[in-house]
C-alpha cells in the first residue's frame, strides 16, 4: 500500500508544477476505532486547554501559592494549532488520511499540544526559548484562525543579536495537512550543521500557490517570527521550489524591496496556466491575469538579487528560459556559462541542473547558496537605478517609490528612477502613473519627473534653544524635527503637480478612486479580514435569494477545506460598527433581503431593483439574474463591500487541482444568470463580466 501511494503521489507531482489532486478518496480510510481514539484524545486536549486560567485575574493567594500561573496570551496560538490539526483531520476523515501513519501523526500532534498545555499550566513554557526544529503558530487577521509555521533555529542564535531569516515556501503536496506538516517538522532535532540563520517554513494554508490567504499567510508568519525573535530586517531571504518556486517568483517580484535576495527553483515566472479550463479568457479576465502571470513582472528582478533554477530535464525548463528572455527584452544582456546564464547588468543568475529532473542539482544548489550568502553580506539595498513595474495597486511600492493611483487598472505601470552619484538629483520616468508619493528629499535637492523639474530646498533644522540655568546660559540640543510630509505628485491634464501630504491627510481622503489595497479584483478581499453577511429579510427575488443563501454555506465549506479556516458569518441585523471599521463585508442577497444593501443600494456601482440589473448600458432581467462584484464599502470607503461573491471564487474542480488555478476567473464584476437544476440546486452562469474604471464606475471599453 505504501509503495502504491508513493507511486501515485510521484505521478501527480511529475505532471507539472501544479499537479492534479485526484477526485477519489485517499487509499487509506481510518477505522471507526482509530477515529474514536483521535476524538477522545482531542477531547482530552480541549478539556485541558479550557482548564487554563485564560483571561482570569489571579488572586493574591493564588499568586503566593504559585499553584496557578498567569497565561501569556501570545503563546496560545502555539498551543491551539495542535488541536486545530486534529480537528481538521476529523472534519475530513475520508479525504486527509493517506496512510495509517497519518493516524499516528494526528495522535502525536495532540500529545505535543498537551505537553505545551502542561508547561503553561506549570508556568514553565519552554518552547519560546528552544533551539532546533519546532512549530509555532499565529492568529490570522483574515478569519481569526490559527495557522502553523515551522522553525529551524541554530544553536548559535543569540536574542541580543539580529539574525538572518530564510523564508521557505513548500511545493505542492497532495497529502499535506496540518497534522503531517507539524509531525514532520516539530521534531526537536537540532538545526542543520552550519546553518547560521533562522529558517521559517510557512504552511501557506495548504496548496493555493501562495495567493490571497496563502500570500497573507507568508506575511503574517514573518510578522510573528519578527515579533518573537531578533531578525535582521536587511537580511531576509525568500526561497521556494516547485509550487514554492512559483510562489517565490510571485512574492519575490511583487515585493522586490522586502528581500536581501530570493531564490525560485523548479519553476519559471510564468505563473500557473489554466490547464483545467477549456474556455478562452475574456479581455477582462486576461487583464486580471497579468497580476498572477509573473513573467510580466520580471523587470523587478533589477531591484533584488535573484536566482532562477530549473533542472535541464524538468517540465518548467521552458518557462525559466522565457523568464530570462523577458529580462533580455527589457534590455539586460546575459552570457551563457555552461548551462547557466549570468549578467553584470543586474544581480541575477539563471542556473540549470545538468541532466536533472524536478529537483535541485547539488552543484546548482551550492552555487545558489554562494550567491545568496554574498547578497546577505551586503544586505537589502536600494539600487541607484530602480526599475519598478506593476500591474496592480496591491503591489504599488518599491523602496521609497509609492504609486498611489494609475491611469488604467491592470495595465503595465512603470517607474524608472535614477539617483545621481552625489545624490543631489533624481530623475524619474513613469508610465500609466496618475498619483505618486515620494519622501521629502533629505539629500536630493531636485526631482526631474517625466521632464518636469521640481526643486526642493534643504530641510530646515530648528534653531538651538537657549536655557538659563543657575550658573549661566548654556546651549541645549534642539528637539528632532517632525517627520517631513511626503510629496504627492498628481498628473493633471498631462502635467505633474506637486503638493505635501501627511499619512493622516491620506487616511481622510474618501474620494471613490481605486487605491492601494482597495483596487480589486473580486478575490482581493481574501487577503485581509472579512465577514460574510447573511440575508434575513424578505427578498425581492426568491430565486436570487435562495442562490445567495446557499452560496454562503458552500463558501464556508470550500474555505474550510481548501483555505484551512472558518469564515465569520453574521446576519445582516448583527453587523456592528466595529465590523464595518475593521473588516471587508461580503454581503449576500438583494435590497429586499439584506438590510445593509437596502441602506446603500443607490451608492453601489451596479444598480438593481425588482425589475432590472443595470451594468453600465447593459440591462438584465432581475428575476433570473444576480450581480456579483467588489467595490469600496459605502459605510467605510477604506474597506471593501463584496456583493454575492464567495462561493463562485472557490469551485471544487479547481481546488482539487490547486486553488491557484482559479486565478483566471475573477474580474471586478460579474452578472450571473440563475437556473434551477433538476436536483434542486440553483446554478449561476456568467453572462457579463468586466472591470470598473479608476473611479469604481463600469467601464464601457
Mean pLDDT, residues 306-325 taken together: 95
Does a structural domain hold residue 29? no
Does a structural domain hold residue 305? no
Query: Which of 451 and 443 is assigned the larger pLDDT?
Result: 451
**Host domain of residue 549:** 522-690
> Do 531 and 574 have their domain in common?
yes
Distance CA 399, CA 256 (A): 8
> Do 496 and 528 have their domain in common?
no
Q: Which of 227-231, 281-285, 550-554, 689-693 has the least mean pLDDT?
A: 281-285
Distance CA 432, CA 404 (A): 11
* Percent over 90 (pLDDT), the chain: 74
Does a structural domain hold residue 4? no
Does a structural domain hold residue 366? no
Query: Which of 342 and 440 is assigned the larger pLDDT?
Result: 342
Mean pLDDT, residues 458-476 taken together: 50
Say if residue 68's pLDDT is above 90. Answer: no
Q: Which of 215-219, 255-259, 290-294 has the least mean pLDDT?
A: 290-294
pLDDT at position 647, please? 59
> Do 611 and 654 have their domain in common?
yes
pLDDT at position 649, please? 62
Say if residue 481's pLDDT is above 80. Answer: no
pLDDT at position 456, please? 86
> Do 539 and 442 have their domain in common?
no
- In sequence order, which residues have a C-beta less than 8 Å from that of residue 502 and are 6 or more positions away? 485, 486
pLDDT at position 61, please? 65
Q: How confident is the model at residue 502 (pLDDT cuts 50, 70, 90)?
A: confident
Query: Which of 657 and 567 is assigned the larger pLDDT?
Result: 567
Q: Which of 23-32, 34-43, 299-308, 667-676 has the least mean pLDDT?
A: 23-32
> Do 541 and 681 have their domain in common?
yes
* Percent over 70 (pLDDT), the chain: 87
Q: Is 614 exposed, middle or buried (0-12, 13-18, 19+ CB in 10 A)?
A: middle
CA-to-CA separations, 336 to 306, 324, 339, 345, 374, in angstroms, rounded: 17, 11, 7, 14, 21
pLDDT in tens, 570-616: 999 999 999 999 999 999 999 999 999 999 999 999 998 999 999 99
Does a structural domain hold residue 578? yes
Mean pLDDT, residues 106-117 taken together: 98
Q: Which of 57-71, 285-299, 401-415, 502-516 has the least mean pLDDT?
A: 57-71
Give the total number of structural domains in the chain: 2
pLDDT at position 276, please? 38
> Do 431 and 560 have their domain in common?
no
pLDDT at position 445, please? 81
> Do 532 and 650 have their domain in common?
yes
Say if residue 507's pLDDT is above 80. Answer: no
Pair 426, 448: CB distance under 8 Å: yes
Domain of residue 605, CATH code: 3.30.379
> Do 505 and 559 have their domain in common?
no
Mean pLDDT, residues 496-518 taken together: 85
Distance CA 563, CA 560 (A): 6
- Compute the Cα dihedral for 326, 332, 335, 337 and give only its sign: negative
Q: Assign residue 19 a region: left if phi > 0, alpha if psi is -120 to 50, beta otherwise?
A: beta
Say if residue 476's pLDDT is above 70. Answer: no
> Do 636 and 553 have their domain in common?
yes
pLDDT in tens, 262-285: 999 999 876 544 333 445 678 888
Say if residue 16's pLDDT is above 50. Answer: no
What is the average pLDDT score of the chain?
Answer: 89
> Do 616 and 595 have their domain in common?
yes
> Do 498 and 552 have their domain in common?
no
Q: How confident is the model at residue 64 (pLDDT cuts 50, 70, 90)?
A: low
pLDDT at position 60, please? 65
Mean pLDDT, residues 446-472 taken together: 70
Edge-to-edge strand list for the sheet holding 231-241? 132-139, 146-153, 198-202, 163-169, 231-241, 261-265, 306-311, 348-353, 340-342, 335-337
- The SS3 call for residue 266 is coil
Say if residue 12's pLDDT is above 50. Answer: no
Does a structural domain hold residue 109? no
Say if residue 358's pLDDT is above 70. Answer: yes
Does a structural domain hold residue 369? no
Q: CA nearest 21: which of 11, 33, 34, 7?
A: 11
Does a structural domain hold residue 443? yes
> Do 491 and 567 have their domain in common?
no
Model confidence, pTM: 0.92
Q: How confident is the model at residue 660 (pLDDT cuts 50, 70, 90)?
A: low
pLDDT at position 223, please? 98
- Spacing of C-alpha 217 from chain mean position: 6
Say if residue 662's pLDDT is above 60. Answer: no
User: Quick one: cell of 144?
Assistant: 481569526
Amino acid at each position: 500500500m505504501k509503495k502504491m501511494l508513493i507511486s501515485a503521489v510521484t505521478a501527480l507531482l511529475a505532471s507539472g508544477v501544479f499537479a492534479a489532486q485526484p477526485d477519489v478518496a485517499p487509499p487509506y480510510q481510518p477505522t471507526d476505532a482509530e477515529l474514536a481514539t483521535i476524538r477522545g484524545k482531542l477531547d482530552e486536549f480541549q478539556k485541558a486547554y479550557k482548564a487554563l486560567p485564560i483571561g482570569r485575574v489571579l488572586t493574591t493567594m493564588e499568586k503566593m501559592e504559585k499553584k496557578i500561573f498567569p497565561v501569556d496570551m501570545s503563546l496560545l496560538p502555539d498551543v491551539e494549532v495542535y488541536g486545530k490539526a486534529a480537528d481538521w483531520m476529523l472534519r475530513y476523515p475520508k479525504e486527509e488520511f493517506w496512510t495509517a501513519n497519518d493516524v499516528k501523526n494526528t495522535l502525536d500532534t495532540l500529545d505535543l499540544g498537551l505537553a505545551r498545555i502542561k508547561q503553561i499550566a506549570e508556568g514553565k513554557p519552554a518552547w519560546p526559548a528552544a533551539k532546533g526544529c519546532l512549530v509555532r503558530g499565529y492568529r490570522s487577521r483574515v478569519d481569526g484562525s490559527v495557522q502553523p509555521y515551522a522553525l529551524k533555529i541554530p544553536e548559535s542564535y543569540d536574542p541580543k543579536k539580529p539574525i538572518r531569516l530564510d523564508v521557505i515556501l513548500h511545493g505542492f503536496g497532495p497529502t499535506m495537512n496540518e497534522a503531517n506538516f507539524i509531525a514532520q517538522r516539530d521534531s526537536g532535532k537540532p538545526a542543520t550543521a552550519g546553518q547560521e540563520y533562522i529558517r521559517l517554513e510557512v504552511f501557506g494554508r495548504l496548496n493555493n500557490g501562495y495567493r490571497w490567504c496563502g500570500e497573507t499567510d507568508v506575511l503574517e508568519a514573518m510578522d510573528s517570527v519578527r515579533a518573537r525573535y531578533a531578525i535582521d530586517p536587511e537580511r531576509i531571504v525568500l526561497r521556494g521550489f516547485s509550487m514554492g518556486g512559483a510562489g517565490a517568483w510571485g512574492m519575490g517580484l511583487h515585493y522586490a524591496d522586502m528581500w536581501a535576495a530570493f531564490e525560485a527553483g523548479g519553476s519559471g515566472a510564468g505563473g500557473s496556466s489554466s490547464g483545467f479550463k477549456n474556455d478562452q479568457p475574456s479581455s477582462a479576465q486576461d487583464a486580471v491575469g497579468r497580476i498572477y502571470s509573473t513573467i510580466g513582472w520580471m523587470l523587478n528582478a533589477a531591484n533584488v538579487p535573484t536566482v532562477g533554477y530549473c533542472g535541464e530535464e524538468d517540465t518548467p525548463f521552458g518557462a525559466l528560459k522565457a523568464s530570462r528572455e523577458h529580462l533580455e527584452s527589457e534590455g539586460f544582456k546575459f552570457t551563457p556559462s555552461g548551462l547557466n546564464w549570468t549578467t553584470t547588468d543586474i544581480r541575477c543568475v539563471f542556473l540549470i541542473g545538468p541532466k536533472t529532473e524536478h529537483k535541485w542539482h547539488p552543484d546548482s544548489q551550492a552555487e545558489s547558496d554562494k550567491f545568496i550568502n554574498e547578497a546577505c553580506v551586503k544586505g537589502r539595498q536600494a539600487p541607484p537605478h530602480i526599475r519598478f513595474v506593476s500591474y496592480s495597486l496591491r503591489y504599488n511600492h518599491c523602496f521609497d517609490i509609492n504609486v498611489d493611483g494609475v491611469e488604467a487598472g491592470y495595465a503595465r505601470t512603470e517607474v524608472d528612477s535614477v539617483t545621481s552619484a552625489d545624490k543631489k538629483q533624481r530623475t524619474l520616468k513613469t508610465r500609466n502613473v496618475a498619483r505618486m508619493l515620494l519622501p521629502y528629499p533629505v539629500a536630493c535637492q531636485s526631482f526631474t519627473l517625466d521632464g518636469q523639474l521640481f526643486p526642493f530646498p534643504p530641510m530646515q533644522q530648528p534653531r538651538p534653544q537657549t536655557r538659563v540655568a543657575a550658573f549661566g546660559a548654556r546651549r541645549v540640543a534642539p528637539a528632532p524635527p517632525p517627520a517631513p510630509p511626503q510629496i504627492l505628485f498628481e498628473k493633471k491634464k498631462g502635467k505633474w503637480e506637486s503638493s505635501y501630504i501627511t499619512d493622516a491627510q491620506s487616511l481622510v481622503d474618501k474620494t471613490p478612486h481605486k487605491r492601494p489595497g482597495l483596487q480589486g479584483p473580486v478575490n482581493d478581499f481574501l487577503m485581509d479580514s472579512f465577514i460574510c453577511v447573511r440575508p434575513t429579510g424578505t427578498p425581492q427575488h426568491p430565486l436570487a435569494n435562495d442562490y445567495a443563501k446557499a452560496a454562503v454555506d458552500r463558501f464556508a465549506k470550500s474555505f474550510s477545506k481548501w483555505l484551512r479556516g472558518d469564515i465569520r458569518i453574521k446576519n445582516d441585523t448583527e453587523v456592528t460598527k466595529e465590523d464595518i471599521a475593521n473588516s471587508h463585508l461580503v454581503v449576500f442577497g438583494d435590497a429586499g433581503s439584506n438590510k445593509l444593501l437596502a441602506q446603500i443600494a443607490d451608492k453601489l456601482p451596479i444598480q438593481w431593483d425588482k425589475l432590472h440589473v443595470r451594468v453600465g448600458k447593459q440591462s438584465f432581467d432581475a428575476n433570473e439574474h444576480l450581480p456579483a462584484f467588489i467595490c469600496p464599502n459605502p459605510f467605510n470607503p477604506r474597506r471593501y463591500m463584496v456583493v454575492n461573491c464567495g462561493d463562485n471564487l472557490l469551485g471544487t474542480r479547481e481546488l482539487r487541482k490547486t486553488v491557484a488555478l482559479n486565478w483566471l476567473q475573477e474580474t471586478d464584476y460579474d452578472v450571473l444568470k440563475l437556473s434551477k437544476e433538476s436536483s434542486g440546486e440553483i446554478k449561476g452562469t456568467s453572462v457579463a463580466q468586466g472591470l470598473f474604471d479608476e473611479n469604481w464606475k463600469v467601464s464601457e471599453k
